[in-house]
Amino acid sequence: MRKLIAWVFMYSLDGLLADEGTEYWQFCFGLPGDPVELEQKLDVFRSAYAHIMGRVSYEAMAVALPAAIDHPFSGIMNAGRKVVFSRTLTTAEWANTTIAAGDTTEEIDKLRRGGDGHIVVWGGVSLWRRSCGLT
Amino acid sequence: MRLDLIDEFRADLHPYVAGEGTRLFDDVPKSYQLDLVSSTPFSNGIVGLHHRRPR
């Protein structure tokens, strides 16, 4: 059974995720990188069996990453197996992407079965909550 | 059916009190404990938190 790993990139001391355009968001993007931190992420992403995401996260990454060849995630994410959870999307242009339109729990279960390793849950927050059984 | 599908949580804890933002766990129906796998401080002030659900 594959493990599901949720990775939250911007988490504050008061337990909040950064919303785009806020001071907090700008603070997060203004921090210098740490190569050790980056490598830790890349290891987990590179070795993932699959990357799963909600539609909004998918659309943001699918627009940005194929063109952003200098972005450290770009190569891994363009080549990696991706599944987007959506009942409205009919096509997914980003290479190696499939659309999961069924029940979230059942679709995730299908991905988990049949092997070891791990699956990265990219978010957004509604997919994390659904994956935790919170909604 | 298993509802608690997330096995591991990784969070990049930033040295910042945000005041505004989105709560990760809103309307959590019940509390539960996690096991700490590791916590790694980085040079930019971020602490990488790694927890997993006990199985």
Over range A23-51, report the average pLDDT: 96
Contacts of A14 (CB under 8 A, 6+ apart): B17, B18, B19
Residue B43 domain-assigned (yes or no) = yes
Reply yes or no on whether the pLDDT at A88 is more than 60.
yes
Stated length of chain B = 55
Provide mean pLDDT across the span A73-84: 96
Q: What single-letter amino acid sits at A41?
A: K
CATH number for the segment(s) A3-9+33-132: 3.40.430.10
Between A42 and A135, the higher pLDDT residue: A42
For residue B24, tell me if it sits in a domain: no
DSSP E strands in A41-133: the ranges are 50-54, 82-85, 97-100, 118-121
CB A61 within 8 A of CB A93: no
Q: What is the number of domains present in chain B?
A: 1
Q: With 80 as the cut, is the pLDDT of residue B4 above it?
A: no
Asked if the model's pLDDT at residue A105 lies above 90, the reply is no
Mean pLDDT rounded to a whole number for chain A: 93
Residue B18 is assigned to a structural domain of this protein? no
Q: What is the ipTM of this complex?
A: 0.90
Tell me whether residue B46 is in a domain.
yes
Which of chain A's residues have a Cβ under 8 Å away from the Cβ of B6? 4-6, 121, 128, 131-132
Find where tokens 């988990």 sit: A112
User: Is residue B25, in this structure, part of any structural domain at all?
Assistant: no
| Interface touch A19/B22, C-beta < 8 Å | yes
Q: Is residue B22 part of a domain?
A: no
Mean pLDDT over A119-131 rounds to 87
Residue at B47 is within a domain = yes
Q: Is A44 helix (H, G, I), strand (E, B) or coil?
A: helix
Whether residue B48 is contained in a domain is answered as yes
What is the model's pLDDT at position B2? 46
Are B6 and A109 in contact (CB < 8 Å)? no
Q: Which domain holds residue B38?
A: 8-13+34-55
Tell me: the pLDDT tens digits for B29-51?
677 789 999 999 999 999 999 99
